[in-house]
Amino acid sequence: PFLQQKRKQKLDLPLWKDELYLEYHQGTFTTQGAIKKNNRRTEALLATTEKLAAIAFLLGGDYPKDRLEKNWKSALTLQFHDILPGSSITPVYRDALETFRDVRKELKVLESGALDRIAGMIGTADLSSLPLIVFNTLSWERNDVVILRFPVPDGFSLRVLDDVGREIPYEIVPADENGMSDISFIAEKIPSMGYRAYGLATAALPPSIQAKEKAQAARLGEMENAVLRVVIDPASGNLKSIFDKRLGREFVAPGQEANKLWVYEDRPENWDAWNIGYTGRGWELNKADKVELVSDGPVKTVYRIDKSFLGISKERYYPTENFPSSFFRQYITLYKDLDRLDIRTQADWWEDHLSLKACFPVAIEADKAFYEIPFAAIGRTTRFETLWEKARYEVPALRWADLSDEKGGIALLNDSKYGYDIHGSIIKLSLLRSPTWPDPMADRGRHEFTYSLYPHAGSWSQSQVVRRGQELNQPLLTRVLDRPLPGNRPLPGIYSFFSVEGSGVIIDAVKLAEDGSGLVFRLYEANGKAENAALVFFRKPTQAVATDLLENEITPLVIKDGRLELSFRAFEIKTVKVRFD
């Protein structure tokens, strides 16, 4: 009402058409990495659990409204200032991590119950193996890696079968002390917000597997699939080459290496956990302690890179005066049938007033880089000339940032980080900080996180960068049934519950309406382009109405042939309530 009133007055007011960037407290994008990781994981798990619970509800299950609401409130409490920004005290973070663990534990129970309800209605009697159901909670068909833990008897292996009984490529990591093995394979064409049935069958362990793995280990530093060719420098452990075979294009800048770990001295004048205070001193970790090929199988190639660092504030006493104070292990993984490069990082970080960044000098020149923000993306300058540009030396983003020219580009995805720095042709992702006030233990200890590189043709909006970022953060889910399910079960082996016809519109949330009168769908246009889309349901809808964010009904909507057609402006958010038979 206030803005509408001012528009009627036709005042000659200045127009600001950009973000309201605070030139202060940029350290809050990164400080307390464990809290930020738990926040990202919990947000994703809440969305996934609600979607699955809504589907199970339409299949006759109970919707756990009260338990979901309780966990939403707990998660939102932990986004309070100063908890999520990383600027609180030690006991707060001890309690917050305990709360996150409790919330995620209960959400996993709710998720498991919904998966059981859905899986129990899938007809799998035609499979001559244990049914393995792979679920996709995102609103588009996707190919992605499946990783599950499963007990494999001694002396045996498993075969993974598709929905028609054909064996597909898979890998099995030998059983741990609990008898559980890690099984991985690439699942293809998993339907939008749906599933695909696979099978697990036992098989005798082939004696030639170990010899085959050793024979493949000769290409030290090289990784290649149908899309990418990657070369790792055995001395530095950095990426010498990221070559896109589709585009015929090298993405590492000439004479440079990518995925360089840099440590910067970081001493703010005030507000230690809040602010960044780079002094100009920095150290590149340009020597690897070890580079080792740890896997080269039919699903993926994995290199392990070990590095270490001795901080400037550490005491140096004989005979351990050169013993490192922090350690880093990276697993660089290229899957055989995926177009992204994953870099899983384990850090044992014990520094004071230092910051850690991953740096990627790329062969791209562009005036703007683009970053994901809530329900949209924003372009920011890559120049570093004016005071306004220099003030934005560190900027916030969600799951990705992208630098592209007219031919293509590269996106840097992440699963738990929020601070980016892109100037010129160098992309940097902030990984860890180490302030000493108000929490003297901030970020000290062990961390694990993943960031990924996604080279592509065209711009970020033409190449589904938004989807790739969500896929990294919301892996495929699995459910192994203890036997094929006989009888007349209503769901087939491949199925989609909800989908969107339209390349840029995403279903972000599905939940039971607060008044219990139907399901609420929240959708948004993700690529910054106006688009007509249609929401498709597995059950016949009887009524649909547009609502506001609080689910207050606004306008009745027309359902045609079981589909709800919607028109979106660029980055528009829509909420609709749908009732079913």
SS3 readout for 239-276? EEEEEECCCCEECECCCCCECEEEEEEECCCCCCCCCC
Region for 33 from its dihedrals, namely left if φ exceeds 0, alpha if ψ lies in -120 to 50, beta otherwise: alpha
Task: Find the mean pLDDT for residues 516-525.
Answer: 97
Of 144-158, 200-214, 464-478, the range with the highest mean pLDDT is 464-478
Q: How far apart are alpha carbons 266 and 274 in whole angstroms?
A: 12
User: Which amino acid is located at 470 in the chain?
Assistant: Q
Q: Measuring CA to CA, which residue among 509, 506, 573 is closest to residue 535?
A: 506
Residue type, 258: A
Helix, strand or coil, per DSSP, at residue 537:
strand
For the record, the structure tokens of 27 come out as: 């350290």
pLDDT in tens, 402-438: 999 999 999 999 999 999 999 999 999 999 999 999 9
Q: Give pLDDT tens digits for 52-74.
A: 999 999 999 999 999 999 999 99
Q: Return d(Cα 209, Cα 131) in angstroms, integer.
A: 26
Domains of the chain: 26-119 (1.20.1270.50), 130-206 (2.60.40.1180), 223-473 (2.70.98.30), 497-580 (2.60.40)
Average pLDDT over residues 320-347: 97
Alpha-carbon span 253 to 425, nearest angstrom: 8
Res. 215: pLDDT tops 50: no
In the predicted structure, residue 127 carries a pLDDT above the cut 60: no
Q: What is the DSSP string of 313-330?
A: TS---TTSTT--SEEEEE
Which residues are registered as beta bridge partners of 302?
A: 295, 333
* Average pLDDT over all residues of the chain: 94
Residue 387: helix, strand or coil by DSSP? helix
CA angle 113, 188, 535 (to 5 degrees): 65
Rounded average pLDDT over 206-219: 47
Specify whether the backbone of 176 is left (phi greater than 0), alpha (psi in -120 to 50) or beta. beta
209 confidence band (pLDDT: 50, 70, 90): very low
Give φ, ψ of 565 to 5 degrees. -90, 135
Please give the residue that has the higher pLDDT: either 8 or 310. 310
Structure tokens at 136: 């996709």
CA nearest neighbour of 83 among 67, 105, 98: 98
CA 512 – CA 454 distance, rounded (Å): 35
Task: Tell me the mean pLDDT in the region 19-43.
Answer: 97
Q: Tell whether the model's pLDDT for residue 11 goes beyond 90.
A: no
Cα–Cα distance, 244 to 364 (Å, whole number): 14
Q: Lowest-confidence range among 192-206, 234-248, 256-270?
A: 192-206
> Terminal CA-to-CA distance of the chain, rounded, Å?
38
Q: Given a cut of 50, is residue 289 above it in pLDDT?
A: yes
pLDDT digit string (tens) for 367-409?
999 999 999 999 999 999 999 999 999 999 999 999 999 999 9
What's the confidence (pLDDT) of residue 485?
63
Decide if pLDDT at 205 tops 80: no
Nearest to 137 by CA among 111, 104, 160: 111
Q: How far apart are CA 339 and CA 329, in angstroms?
A: 23
What token pair was written down for 442? 């901030």
* Confidence band, pLDDT 50/70/90 cuts, at residue 141: very high
Amino acid symbol at 394: E
Distance CA 431, CA 259 (A): 12
**217 confidence band (pLDDT: 50, 70, 90):** very low
ω into 319 cis (within 30 of 0): yes
Mean pLDDT to the nearest integer, 328-347:
97
What pLDDT shows up at residue 12? 82
pLDDT, greater one: 126 or 548? 548
pLDDT at site 206: 62
Distance of CA 549 to the CA centre of its chain: 25
For residue 208, what pLDDT band results from cuts at 50, 70 and 90?
very low
Q: Give the Cα separation of 362 and 424 in Å (integer).
A: 9
What's the pLDDT band for 178 if we cut at 50, 70, 90? confident
* pLDDT score at 484: 67
Tell me what pLDDT residue 218 has: 46
41's enclosing H/E stretch is: helix 33-58
Side-chain-side CA neighbours of residue 420 (13 Å): 30
Provide the pLDDT confidence category of residue 214 given band limits of 50, 70 and 90: very low
Amino acid at 15: L
pLDDT score recorded for residue 211: 34
